[in-house]
Amino acid sequence: MTGGGLLVAGTTSDAGKSVVTAGICRWLVRQGVKVAPFKAQNMSLNSFVTREGAEIGRAQAMQAQACRIEPTALMNPVLLKPGGERSSQVVLLGRPVGEMSARGYHGGRQQQLLGTVLDSLAQLRATYDAVICEGAGSPAEINLRRTDIVNMGIARNASLPVLVVGDIDRGGVFASFFGTVALLSREDQELVAGFLVNKFRGDVSLLEPGLDMLHGLTGRHTYGVLPFRHGLGIDEEDGLAVSLRGAVRESAVAAPVGEDVLRVAVCAVPLMSNFTDVDALAAEPGVVVRFVDRPEELADADLVVVPGTRGTVRALQWLRERGLADALRRRAAEGRPVLGICGGFQILGEHIEDDVESRAGRVDGLGILPVRVRFAREKKLERPVGEALGEPVEGYEIHHGVADVRGGEAFISDGRGHGLDGCRVGQTWGTHWHGSLESDGFRRAFLREVAAAAGRRFVPAPDTSFAALREEQLDRLGDLIEQHADTDTLWRLIESGAPRGLPFVPPGAPA
């Protein structure tokens, strides 16, 4: 028996599709429904590694957590990782299969992947009671409809009802809802079941006349008005502003346990990947995290983080052009804390041999850590565990760079004195492991070292649980759906599909 399904589409990018999908997933699992998330195609530098060593978007990993299941490659069969303005690495079922231009991808390759996408969705629907699918951008992107495999393309092929989410905080939500439907073909419109308003501030009764008129114009109901809530962003696709709104970052307003706060500056390098690594730092009361792009902004920072990037050589050049490279070298020489993660770790080394990502050949690094990096064609995708600063630590690795460490101390060990990853010299640390700061004991030990080196009377809170904060956040999303959406109708859509006889809204898609 095939499980039910629903496609959550949006009037625009960042309308709230990822959040609404996670909220529906958490609401369903609390009702005892066996549910899974799905996104046919994701464009993101914010990725995650599953237990079987597959790379998928972090949004789908978080949605799987909302479902209380382990994420798998089936949940995000196609991942595009931008490497510049016009090309992306294509990751298929968790493994990279090559670089492709946007024109080449939309010119035919995308449609070739439809079979893989539909097979992945079918496998999930055969296993779960319900699969909540997330669209991308807008379903009314008429220039891309012919090759679409993530919005109406997947809805039509899998007979999925479609819920269109609109962000009313931006304004123009009624026009966006109406226009989205009116630009779809008759066949596509038959699957658009209704609307969901997101991020509403104020008295819902003032909105109701507009919702009634929208129903009169389209024949479709609005199945909920979700109120605006601070801090409900999850690990979404690749918008830095999205991550900055997350609840974990906002917890920095909590009073510090010690006498001082700890200031963290994150270099906002180009093609930044997995910037969510610093969310765990911002989860600590008294830790203030900000993204910076000028050397003077490093002056009062107690810790500087050089994050991961999809363009290591490009990021290195950017740091030099802006004077940040010299500022980082001065910090290291003065014994002031610096942490490099993945591409940031590689940048801190002596040199990089890159014939894979940038094809720049040999490029000098910042020379802060005794590490030489060679880019291999095979990408490393692992979920390692180890020990650092006397505490257990786990993370995930996503990189082509192979580090040859020629000195310093190992940063992360196997607990028996053998180095596993990274390097430390003085107060400069580097590691390939994303997500390591989510290990609570290790994070506290690391922050204690940073505070001591910075001369700050900062004390990490003894009871901050990053995992618990994530669960609390997902429960808040589930509460939003349960309290402000028409859940009876949502379940009927998931179980039975779009209502029959929905009217056509002219003019429809262009011929």
Length of the chain: 511
List the catalytic residue out of 267, 342, 399, 432: 342
Tokens of 453: 């080196």
HEC letters along 135-146: CCCCCCCCCCHH
C-alpha count within 13 angstroms, C-beta hemisphere, residue 2: 14
Catalytic status, residue 432: no
Catalytic status, residue 230: no
Tokens of 27: 């609401």
At residue 257's C-alpha, the angle toward residues 254 and 262, to 5°, is 75
**DSSP of 37-102:** EE-SEEE-S-EEE-TTS-EEEHHHHHHHHHTTS---GGGSSEEEEE-SSSEEEEEETTEEEEEEEH
CA 258 to chain centre: 32
Cβ(23)–Cβ(480) below 8 Å: yes
> Which phi and psi angles does 198 have, rounded to 5°?
-120, 145
List the catalytic residue out of 399, 400, 434, 484: 434
In whole angstroms, what is the distance from residue 198 CA to residue 233 CA? Answer: 13
In whole angstroms, what is the distance from residue 415 CA to residue 451 CA? Answer: 24
Cβ(359)–Cβ(450) below 8 Å: no
* Exposure string for 287-322, b = 16+ CB within 10 A, e = fewer: bbbbbbeebebbeebbbbbbbbbbbbbbbbbbbeeb
Neighbouring-strand partners of residue 36: 131
- Residue with the two structure tokens 């700890």: 262
Contacts of 106 (CB under 8 A, 6+ apart): 144, 147
Q: What is the dihedral sign for C-alpha 234, 239, 242, 248?
A: positive
Q: Which residues are catalytic?
A: 342, 434
